Amino acid sequence: MSEQHPAVNPDFTSPWWLPDGHSQTLWRRFVSHAPLLRRRQRVELADGDFIDLDWMEAAPVPALPIVFLLHGLCGSSASPYILSLQHQLHSHGYTSLAMNFRGCSGEINRLARAYHSGCTEDVEELYQTLRVQTGGRPMAFAGFSLGGNVLLKWLSEIGRRDDVLLGVAVSAPFSLAFCSGAMNSGLGRAYGSYFRRRLVRDVEDKRAHFRASARHDQLQKLEGLGDLQRLRTLWEFDDQVTAPLHGFNGAEHYYSTCSSGPALHAIQTPVQLIQSANDPIIPAVSLPRPGQLPGHVRLHLTGSGGHVGFTCAGQPLWLEQRILAAIKTCHG
C-alpha cells in the first residue's frame, strides 16, 4: 500500500472495532451529537432561489476567521460531521456557518435545478454576500466529499483573495467518473444505490411540490426528465437528471467539467487535503500524488479512515483536530 501511495501518513490508526473503510464510513453516520444553538440565515439568490445557512456564533474576535462549511452529497448542515466540527470550532472561539446546498435545508428550493459537484457559482454568491455582511472579515473553508470537490473547484476559479485564508477538503472525489464507477461495482453498489434512491426521492418530492404550488415553468423541466424509477445507477441519474438540469451534455461532460483533480494546479490559496487510502467511494487511482501538487496544497493521506470517517484509536475527534490545527496555522 505504501508503495502505491507514497504520501500515506502513519499518524492515524483505526480502532479494532472499525477495521475497514466501510465500518469507518458507516460509524460516522451513527455518532450522536448534542443539539447546537444555531441561527439560521436565508440568503436570497440572484436567480430567485435561496440558500439557508446555519450559524454557530462565538464571541466576535476580529483576528479569527469565520469558518465556512460545505456538506456532502445528500447531506445538510445537520450531517454528523458538520455538527461535530461546528461544536469543536465554537469551543475554540471560532464562529462558523454551515451552508445547505439548494434543497438540503429541509425546505424544497424554488427552481428545478438543485446542486451538484461543481456548483461553484453558489459558493461565490454566498462569499460575496458574506463579505459585505461581515465587513470583509477573513474566512477559512472546509468541505466534505461533494462539498470538498465544490470547494476545490471554487478555489481554482477565484485566484488569490486576501480574505480567503485556507481551504480544507475532506474525502474529496477528485475524479467524479472514477467515483461513480466505484459505486457501480462490488460493495460500492450499496453506496451508489443509496445515493440514487435519495436523489430520485428528492426529485419526486419536488415534482409533487411544484404540482401543488402551480410552479408550471419549473415543473415542466422536471417532468421532461421522464420516469426516474427506470434509473438503476448513480451514473444514469447524473446522465439523465443532474446533467440536463444543470447545463451539461450528459454524465461524461458533467464529470469531466466538474472534477476537482485537474483543477488543483490552479489553486492559489493554501489547501489541506485529508484523504483515506481505504475510502470505499474514492478509488486510490483518483488520488493526487504529492509531486503533482503545488507546494501550498498539502495532502494528508491516512492508510485507513473510510469516507468522511476518520475515527482514530484513542482520538475519536482526530478529524476535527486536524481541521482545527490547519485553521489555527492560517492566521496570525
Catalytic member of 5, 71, 246, 307: 307
Cβ 168 vs Cβ 274: under 8 Å: yes
* 162 part of the active site: no
> By C-alpha distance, which of 130, 11, 158 is closest to 69?
130
Catalytic member of 14, 77, 117, 145: 145
Helix (H, G, I), strand (E, B) or coil at 258: helix
Task: Return the beta strands (E) in 13-60 as ranges.
Answer: 39-44, 50-56
Catalytic member of 52, 54, 239, 279: 279
CA 85 – CA 81 distance, rounded (Å): 6
The secondary structure element, H or E, covering residue 67 is strand 66-70
Using a 10 angstrom Cβ sphere, with 0-12 exposed, 13-18 middle and 19 or more buried, the burial of residue 13 is middle
* 307 part of the active site: yes
* Three cell numbers, residue 144: 466534505
* 117 part of the active site: no
Q: Where are the alpha helices (DSSP H) in 49-135?
A: 80-91, 120-133
CA quadruple 302, 308, 313, 317: dihedral sign: positive
CA 143 – CA 167 distance, rounded (Å): 8
> By C-alpha distance, which of 35, 199, 22 is closest to 103?
199
HSE-up of residue 263 (Cα within 13 Å, Cβ side):
28
Go through the chain and tell me how many residues it has. 332
Helix (H, G, I), strand (E, B) or coil at 234: helix
CA quadruple 155, 157, 162, 164: dihedral sign: negative
Active site residues: 145, 279, 307
